[in-house]
Amino acid sequence: MKILVCMKQVPQKDAPLKLNESGTWIREDVSYEVNEPDAYALEEALRQKEKHGGEVVVITSGPARAQQVLREALAKGADRAIHLEDNAFVGLDAFNTAKAFAAAIKEEQFDLIFTGLQSDDYGYAQTGVVLAELLGWPHATIIMQIEKNDAGIRVKRELEAGYFQYVDMPLPAVLTIQSGINKLRYATLIGIKQAKNKPLRKVTMADVQSAVGNNLQKIERLYIPQKTKKTEHIEGPPAEIAKKLVDKLRNELRVL
């Protein structure tokens, strides 16, 4: 099975974010990490390869720092990496990011393409589904299980409120993967060493320019959300906090 995993580098979960001067993006001087759902997508691809043989290729678009995500993926067992490396890829909407990916993998023949179900920075949950439509492939989202069969694959789709659904699909297909589908592995020292020799192909904006167009939407401003709720801070040493809270629980909230 030849599997492509689309991965994104996002600011670390607990990174303190600051707005840039124009209030249109964040200042880039933060620490980055792999988008968590994408890590699960990679792990799933590696497990499918272990079960059925084949190849796992990882792709990302972003500036030089995004290469870290690919290196980690190679260290965990991915075979090849593709880096759409260009500052021009930052800030592309899902439509154009998917177009860039589709152009970059034109010559390849994947059986499956995985993305995380959404990114922790934008949270649009679109790129995988857009890519499927651009490629003319079937897709399924929020996937918690993948089983290969003769007709293609049977996937387990997660629905709201604890419901699930199995779906039979032909290949090739695009799947967006839900966090928690599996347990993430750590890269081994050998893996990290081997990663250095694995192929990493760079793609510039010029290489895919003909496919990419203007963004269809624009973030006009980014800002600290206005709080609508009035929050009361309860402070002091733990014993004091405990007493204050019990007082509120009893007298204001009436739960005691």
Partner 1 sequence: MPDTILVVVEQREGKLNRVSWETLTAGQALAAETGWALEAAVVGSGVANFANEVAGKKVAKVYAIESPKLEPYTPDAFVAALKQFLSSHPAKLVLMPHTYQVRDFVPKLATALGRAAITDCVGYKKEGDKLFFTRQMFQGKLAADVSFTSDAPWFATFQNGAYRGDRVEAGATAAPVETVNVEIADGVIRNKPQEVFKEAKQAVDLTQAEVIVAVGRGIKEQKNIEIAKNLAEALGAELAASRPICDSGWLPMDRQIGSSGQTVAPKLYLALGISGAIQHIVGMKGARTIIAVNKDSEAPIFEIADYAIVGNLFDIVPPLTEEIKKAKAGG
Contacts (CB under 8 A) with partner 1, residues 19-58: 19, 26
Binding residues among 169-208 for partner 1 as defined by CB under 8 A: 169-170, 178-180
Binding residues among 89-118 for partner 1 as defined by CB under 8 A: 93-95, 98
Q: Among 21, 107, 159, 190, indicate the residue that binds partner 1 (CB under 8 A).
A: 159
Q: Among 22, 107, 162, 186, indicate the residue that binds partner 1 (CB under 8 A).
A: 162
- Residue 143: its H or E element: strand 139-149
Instruction: Give the integer Cα–Cα distance in Å for 225 and 113.
Output: 35
At residue 201, what are phi and psi to the nearest 5 degrees?
-95, 130
Q: Among 1, 44, 120, 177, indicate the residue that binds partner 1 (CB under 8 A).
A: 120
- Residue 36, amino acid: E
Q: Among 84, 132, 195, 212, indicate the residue that binds partner 1 (CB under 8 A).
A: 132
Q: Is 233 in the site for partner 1 (CB under 8 A)?
A: yes
As measured in angstroms, the least distance from the Cβ of 46 to partner 1 is 18
Q: Among 126, 195, 203, 212, indicate the residue that binds partner 1 (CB under 8 A).
A: 126
The string of DSSP codes covering 66-94 is GHHHHHHHHHHT--EEEEEE-GGGTT--H
Torsion of CA 10, 16, 21, 24, to 10 degrees: 40
